[in-house]
Amino acid sequence: MTAVDDRPATDEPQGEVGTSRRRKEDQRLITGRTRWTDNLTLPGMLHLAMVRSPFAHAHITSVDLEAARSSPGVVAVLAGSDLAAEQGTLPNVWNITPDQKTPTHPSMAVDTVRFAGEIVACVVARSAAAARDAVELVDIDYDELPVLLDTREALKDETVIHPEIGTNESAHLVMDFQTETSVGDVDAVIEAARADGIVFERSYEQQRLIPAFME
């Protein structure tokens, strides 16, 4: 085996590379003087607070908004059913395969919640505090449904989260990062490796995460 030394030929900074730059934004950040979107106050501005499902999978059996609507400072309280005809679906802007199955994603659940924290109602009020207080007055009953906590179990389709598409498998992707195309047969490659006596088996759990910073 040949050892390769990848260190630079010199320790001297090469232009901007290797040079520390003095940060200019820290003082306003650590002293609380930064203005974020949430710090803006405009004449006549209203505030929105969400009511979210505590269950990962459930039917919504009843929604009572009257107490919240009577709360001081509240302008409107809406459930998903109030907007069912108009709210449409949140778009999927990135299909990873041409035949990907994409269920509808309303901005507020109408009759079924499919993940913990899904929005089921919202409160519009004249202050953020009034909106948060009214959220506590929204009364929603649920009928819990089976949940899926394991990808392998989900692929069995014994509990289908989106019945309208008939399966939990949205797409099947085998990525060739050299050609940036979806190709290949995973099962065939694994069987060929087994035939050659090469077998490494590991199970990994990885979060599904695509960061999207608001500001």
| Cross-strand partners of 50 | 122
Q: Choose between 70 and 196: higher pLDDT.
A: 70
Range of the domain at 117: 42-195
Residue 3, in any domain of the structure: no
Residue 49 within a domain? yes
Helix (H) or strand (E) holding 190: helix 186-195
Contact 86, 30 (CB under 8 A): no
Q: Looking at residue 52, which CATH number applies to its domain?
A: 3.90.1170.50
Question: Do the domain assignments include residue 141?
Answer: yes
Is residue 7 a part of any domain in this protein? no
| pLDDT of residue 14 exceeding 90 | no
In a domain, 98, yes or no: yes
Does any domain span residue 5? no
> What are the tokens at 204?
């990994």
| Residue bearing the bigger pLDDT, 179 or 156 | 156
Tell me the CA distances in angstroms from 175 to 25, 98, 146, 170, one per residue in order.
40, 14, 32, 15
Residue 10 lies in a domain: no
pLDDT in tens, 88-103: 888 888 888 888 999 9
Domain count, the chain: 1
